[in-house]
Amino acid sequence: MLKLFLFTVISTFSLAWDYKNGGSDWTDTCLYGTSQSPIDLKAQSTTAINITSSSISQLKLVYKSHPESGTFKDQTYTIDGNFLNLTEILESVTIFMRSQSFSFHAPSEHTLNGYQFDLELQILSTNTPGYIYNQQTAVFFRLGEDDNSFIDKVIRAYGKTTEIDLSDLFGGRSSLNHFYSYKGSVTSPPCTEDVTWYIWAEIQEISLSQLSFFTDQWAGNQNFAGGRGNNRKIQNLNKRTITLYEGADDSGKNLFYFSVLFFALLY
């Protein structure tokens, strides 16, 4: 009986919000919290740390490929499953994480020096058992000419079981050494402030037809939040700090990131 009551409360709460105002009308922690997400990753508010050792300040990745299907639920597109085990090695502190699901927002929720990307992927991970530590790994996508092989599988997974492998997304890397990190929250109600965010600094590309799979549901759909997308508005940084861990895992392909950073510093 208690489980049924809790399920009813959670279900009712989950239907009591939308993106019509970008989250500005959400209540409780969403309104009064001081460590909310998403944020703008401003160069002026970021401290850069150069990774000088392969054993510190990185995210180690172990991929777990298996078949799953995707669904549009909770106002996003989600694929549930443990596709990735992460080991966080940051400033001599090691935490083991296991991914629970990943979902998408179009346009992006986080911005880079005021620039909003076409799509943002968010991978939710927890340090099981216990679920006392939550982590989100975010990846930006911008419009390009070619199809993205990972996104192709994600789209094909809609309504039918498809083999999902996050190594397609990260290029088979065994670790990420170039990413932003800050303390924040879940980006939808109840906006719980127990999340460590890691945002990959390498921008991925997506074709127009692939992007349309998402925008047809949200930003291009007047029946969904008036066509404004499923992204929460940018939140105040307040007294938080943003760290950019700089390494050599992006093989020189991230020219877009450097151009955005360069022009931000000019102004």
Tens of pLDDT, residue by residue over 178-207, are 999 999 999 999 999 989 999 999 999 999
Question: What is residue 56's predicted lDDT score, i.e. its pLDDT?
Answer: 54
In whole angstroms, what is the distance from residue 62 CA to residue 209 CA? 30
Q: Among residues 31, 24, 35, which one has the least CA distance to residue 238?
A: 35
Tens of pLDDT, residue by residue over 232-266, are 999 999 999 999 988 765 444 444 444 455 444 44
Is the distance from CB of 99 to CB of 82 less than 8 angstroms? Answer: yes
Tens of pLDDT, residue by residue over 124-170, are 999 865 556 799 999 999 999 999 999 999 999 999 999 999 999 99
| Full strand arrangement of the beta sheet holding 40-41 | 40-41, 111-112, 115-116
- Write the DSSP symbol of residue 166: T
Question: Which of 225-263 are b and which e, b meaning 16 or more Cβ less than 10 Å from the residue's Cβ?
Answer: beebbbbbebbebeeeebbbbbbebbeeebebbeebbee
Is the distance from CB of 198 to CB of 136 less than 8 angstroms? Answer: yes
Is the distance from CB of 200 to CB of 253 less than 8 angstroms? Answer: no
